[in-house]
Structure 1
Amino acid sequence: MVKELEQSQDPTWRDKLRAWWHGDDYVMRHMVQDYSTRPQQQPVIIEPEKPVLELPTIERWTPRRQQIVQKLFGDGFNQPGGEELMRPLISPLGLNPNMSITELGCGMGGMSRMMAREGLWIDAYEPDTDLAGAATEFARSQGVKQHINIKTQPLDELQIKRKSVDVVLSKDGLMSAQDKRLLLAKIRAAMKPGGQLMFTDFLLTGPTESRTYEVWWEREPVKPHLLTPEGLQSELESLNFIICYMEDVTQELKSTVIASFAKYAEEVKLLGKLANENERDWVISEGEHWAIRISAMDANIIRLYRVYCRVMD
């Protein structure tokens, strides 16, 4: 599927990424394009390239991919932004060690570790077994494992005791949930009186018939089923959540992604030599993945929202 997508894209796409690799920062800022005007092309037979150490993938969080994304986004993080984008999620909540805190889609566990260093106790759920394993190892190596209970479980199978949680958090971790309505209902049932829900999630803000949407949807390894902003608001209100705010934070994410790749390119230049071909191919694969996401954001097909809710009973 990825091969077919690559064949349907502009033939200069990889050339642009390689130009960025060699230090053209302008390319990184302008390589994201709206794919909606691109006609589908007939598959082209391409001769296989010479063997590499390990072929890049976005389908699984292999050890090699984990190594690459940490070079891009920082040690212990598989998503861009690190603690800089996580801090706004927890700062309004007035967290203290007496609270029961649940994080959904914790990835490599960066936000849970940040809270654990402040003496908080967290139940962290991560559907991907490889990421959950990495989160466990990072928590152990940083001396906070006793504060974080990491559980490997699909979010659609989430089971939390009723009225047992003070705070539910998630940073871009809900895309794997295929039934958002059911997940929100489970979260609501688990919350204590006065509970708080804070999360960021992609919402559908444009037509699904466009070529841009098709390319993005096909590229995502876990097929997303998104709510619209209006749909999310309706679902939250029907569950008696009080919505404190829903804000579009797409630009924050986009700026962070571009800055991460630009910083990596600069570090490579400072070394005075290129990384090996295998690493370059992995970085380009991640660059394509994020550029296609940003293309969908720029076309207003999807947008990232930060949402904060409370419950009274």
Structure 2
Amino acid sequence: MNDEQQDKPGWRDRLRAWWHGEQGFGPKVEDYRTTPDAPLEAEPPPTSDEPDITTWSPRRQQIVQLLFGEGLHQPGGEALIRALTAPLALNPNMSVTELGCGMGGMTRLLARDGIWVDAYEPDQSLSDAALALARKEGIKQRTNIKHSLLDDLQFKRRSLDAVLSKEGLMSVQDKRLLLAKLRAAMRPGGQLMFTDFLLTGPEGSRVYEVWMDREPVKPVLLTPDDLQSELETLGFTVMYLEDVTEEYKSAVLDAFARYAADIKLRGSTVEESEREWVIAEGEHWAIRISAMDARIIRLYRCFCRAND
């Protein structure tokens, strides 16, 4: 490693510099296809509020809501949720299911629109939070939020009118089996709308390895061609399968930019522990964005209908 490479700042250095306004938003990860590994940084001593993105602790839930909005654990807010729900023309007479509802942002939006929603979330902490938020908003009666591994779900035949998911399928180990279950449960003309990360580059690349190593839940990915083929084989008509990575990345960067503007107003009232948690979350998104920029993974929006 030469001196120039050795002097390059790591993720935490970039994010701390961004925090203090010394440069633009920090999550720009080295292109690991060409750059040697950076030296490991010494881990700070553990504290009672040590950042940890491997679980959805109450503290992490608090931090992501500062970034992405109240009651949300993902970027994009209502704008990206509406991009999924609007084409379906949902109404209260339809049987609607959400997979991987997280903190229930889309579930609550639909419930506020008068839709009845069955929602499933594999993480107990997130499903508990989704239930609490639905109760807080007074819309619990329109939501049926359950903690369940998505691979374990079983549906009644011809019972579903619409199924949605916003980046909620990463934990599914057998996506082909889940899609087959959904197709069997669809009523004629049933609709399936979701966003998911798909594999668009080599699995053996260094960028892929770094991204996969840092994902708290190890995803199992299909390629765009494999997904479309699988859907068509099952009897879905694919209306569109589109790459929406750039708008998703913009939502991430906008979230951190809004937060940066907010902390300038808050000034010295920002706690050190909050800063460390935001930096940890920023590292997580930096690595994802690096994999997207390298075209190893891309986020796709898929809309399809069940053939009669």
Structure 2 residue runs without a partner (length 5+): 1-5
Give the conservation status (yes or no) of the 8 Å contact 2:155–2:185: yes
Match of 2:99 among 98, 104, 108: 104
Determine if contact 2:28/2:290 at 8 Å carries over to the other structure: no
Partners of 1:262 and 1:233 lie apart in 2 by 35
Note the alpha carbon deviations across 1:87-117, whole angstroms, 9 max, x for none: 0101011111000000000000000100101
| Amino acid in the other structure paired with 1:296 | A
What is the aligned residue count?
A: 303
- Conserved? CA contact 2:25–2:256, under 8 Å: no
* Partner residue in 1 for 2:11: 13
Quote how far apart the aligned CAs of 1:130 are. 0.2
Structure 1 runs of 4+ with >4 Å offset: 41-44
Could you tell me how far 1:33 is from its partner in structure 2?
A: 3.4
Name which of 33, 57, 67 aligns with 2:30.
Answer: 33
- Structure 2 equivalent of residue 170 of structure 1: 165
Q: Is the 1:34–1:298 Cα contact (8 Å) retained in structure 2? A: no
Look up the match of 2:180. 185
State the one-letter code of the partner of 2:141.
Q
Which residue matches 1:203? 198
Residue of structure 2 in register with 1:117 after alignment: 112
Q: Which residue of 2 aligns with 1:5?
A: none
Q: Is the 8 A contact 1:35 1:295 kept in 2?
A: no
Cα deviation code 1:230-268 (max 9, x no counterpart): 000110011010000011000011001011011101100
Q: Give a deviation string over 1:5-26, Cα, whole Å, max 9, x none.
A: xxx9x65321110011112462
Give the Cα separation in 1 of the matches to 2:250 and 2:207.
20
Q: Equivalent residues in 2 for 1:12-161 (5 A)?
A: 12-24=10-22, 26-28=24-26, 31-40=28-37, 46=42, 49-161=44-156
1:283 aligns with 2:281: no
CA–CA separation in structure 1 for the residues paired with 2:166 and 2:130: 15
SS in 2 for 1:226: coil
Distance, in Å, in 1 between the alignment partners of 2:291 and 2:46 is 32
Alignment of 1:265 with 2:260, yes or no, is yes
* Counterpart amino acid of residue 19 in structure 1: A
State whether residues 56 and 126 of structure 2, in contact with CA within 8 Å, keep that contact through their aligned partners in structure 1: yes
Question: How far apart, in 2, do the equivalents of 1:41 and 1:297 lie?
Answer: 21
AA aligned opposite 1:36: R
> Separation in 2 of the partners of 1:158 and 1:141?
27
Deviations 1:107-135 (A, max 9, x none): 00000100101111000000000000000
Q: Deviations over 1:59-86 (max 9, x none)?
A: 1000000000000000000001111110
Contact 2:95–2:162 (CA under 8 A) maintained in structure 1: yes
Is the deviation greater in 213-222 or in 10-19? Answer: 10-19
Question: For 2:138 and 2:31, how far apart are their aligned partners in 1?
Answer: 45
Query: Following the alignment from structure 2 to structure 1, what is the Cα–Cα distance between the partners of residues 154 and 270?
Result: 44
Report the 3-state secondary structure (helix = DSSP H, G, I; strand = E; otherwise coil) of the residue aligned with 2:157: coil
Q: 1 CA distance for matches of 2:294 and 2:217? A: 21
What percentage of aligned pairs have identical amino acids?
64
User: Structure 1 residues 50 and 312, CA, compared in 2 at 3 Å: closer, same or farther?
Assistant: closer
Aligned match of 1:249 in 241, 244, 253? Answer: 244
With 268-277 and 74-83 compared, the bigger mean Cα shift is at 268-277
TM-score by length of 1: 0.93
What is the root-mean-square deviation in Å for CA atoms of aligned residues? 1.8
Q: Shift of the alpha carbon at 1:274?
A: 5.4
Report the TM-score, using the length of structure 2 for normalisation: 0.94
Output the amino acid matched with 1:270. L
Post-superposition offset of 1:51: 4.9
In structure 2, distance between residues paired with 1:272 and 1:214: 38
Structure 1: give runs of 5+ residues left out of the alignment. Answer: 1-7
Question: Matched residues in 2 for 1:18 and 1:274: separation?
Answer: 17
* AA partner of residue 89 (structure 1): L
